Amino acid sequence: MNHLRLAARRAYSTAKPAVVPRITPGLVGAIGNTPLIRLNHISEEVGSDILCKAEWMNPGGSVKDRAALYLVQDAEERGLLQPGGTVVEGTAGNTGIGLAHVCRAKGYKCVIYMPNTQSQEKIDLLRMLGAEVYPVPAVAYENPENYNHQASRHAAKLENAVHTQQFDNIANRRAHIETTGPEIYAQTNGEVDGFVCATGTGGTLAGTARYLKDMKGDNVKIFLADPPGSVLHSYITSGKKLFERSGSSVTEGIGQGRVTDNLAPDVDLIDGALTIPDEDSIKMMYRLLDEEGIYVGVSSALNVVAAVEMAKQLGKGKKIATVLCDGAYRYQSRLFSRQWLESKKLDTAIPEHLQKYIIL
């Protein structure tokens, strides 16, 4: 044996055994248990640890894989879905992508209704995963043509089919009570001081908040973050009155015009709310690339802006957790296109030294 190989063997024999996850029972076993990443530059700047769940590392590439798995398991447990059955859902895309993966892995068909304002990448991916996709006009929930109501009617017409109803089915929130919350608690040794994120269904915020508050009571603060046009910020800060949606945002999958059944049981756990302008979210998305090497979508960037703001409000030396909901891959034709950014008047929000990332 030559001396180099001998030296390598000695080094290996003193190394600690690697801690790696066990063999997973199929794809669904690979959902969750994502890393909690400290944003090194941003944390130094604010004087608190900004800790982010790397949800793009889920098999379907987003935080919604967790909810998708729980929604399907819930339908199975309630006897609503028999082998070979069909899962129907209304989604901005990520829940659909999660469901499409879980359905393929478990042998179900998958039908997705989504607002036609969503990125082409998400529609293409859903179809590649074998889902039947119906992009429909983006109208308010009150309108019977809203994508959720269309999904409901579609499921009702089929045998052995279920509308999983991510917005109001609390199996969604349970996914985060049983996985996201406990993971953040364990990864911080219980020392998390704050959690903040934006809401679509509200499942991530409500479920994680429930677990962390059950563990830490008032020693952990919970903030909600809204994009422009969403009404939950004003609901929480102005005495629980719902306002008309007004304004719009370039974020996808977040912002809400009502208190969903997933959010309702835990709304009182929310200690504060923030509205984050699109300009700040887009700028943060480019900063995350440049300073942290992290390639995530604009809802993730919004969460980081909110976490920084929360850190400022709670004072230095805290640990603030949030989620990086998905990667930028599924939005790149928009978020890295100069023409698109100009059409949304967001090109000027990106500082000179970050303009080099606008490559499309």
Lateral strand order in the sheet of 132-136: 132-136, 109-115, 86-90, 161-163
Least Å distance between CB 57 and ligand PMP?
A: 14
Q: Are 90 and 148 in contact (CB under 8 A)?
A: yes
Chain contacts with ligand PMP (rule: CB under 6 A)? 62-64, 92, 94, 198-204, 252-254, 297, 299, 325-326
User: Could you tell me the two tokens for 97?
Assistant: 């992508």
Tell me how far, at minimum, the Cβ of 201 lies from ligand PMP, in Å.
3
Set 16, 53, 64, 312: catalytic member: 64
- Is 318 known to be catalytic? no
Select 194 or 253, whichever has its Cβ closest to ligand PMP: 253
Residue 85 vs 202, nearer CB to ligand PMP: 202
C-beta of 43 vs 199, nearer to ligand PMP: 199
Upper half-sphere CA count for residue 103 (Cβ side, 13 Å): 30
Q: With contact defined as beta carbons under 8 Å apart, do 225 and 198 qualify?
A: yes
CA 281 centroid distance within chain: 15
Q: Which H or E run includes 156?
A: helix 147-157
Least Å distance between CB 319 and ligand PMP? Answer: 22
Residues 162 and 155: their CA atoms lie apart, in Å, by 6
Between 192 and 302, name the residue whose CB sits nearer to ligand PMP.
302
Q: CB nearest ligand PMP: which residue?
A: 253
Cβ neighbours of 14 (radius 10 Å): 6
CB nearer ligand PMP, residue 85 or residue 321: 321
The answer for 143, left when phi > 0, alpha when psi is -120 to 50, beta otherwise, is beta
Query: Residue 171 Cβ, how far from ligand PMP at the closest point, in Å?
Result: 12
Phi, psi angles (nearest 5°) of residue 313: -70, -35
State the nearest-atom distance from the C-beta of 165 to ligand PMP, in Å: 12
CA R_g for the chain: 21
C-beta neighbour count of 27 within 10 angstroms: 16
Task: Cite the active site residues.
Answer: 64
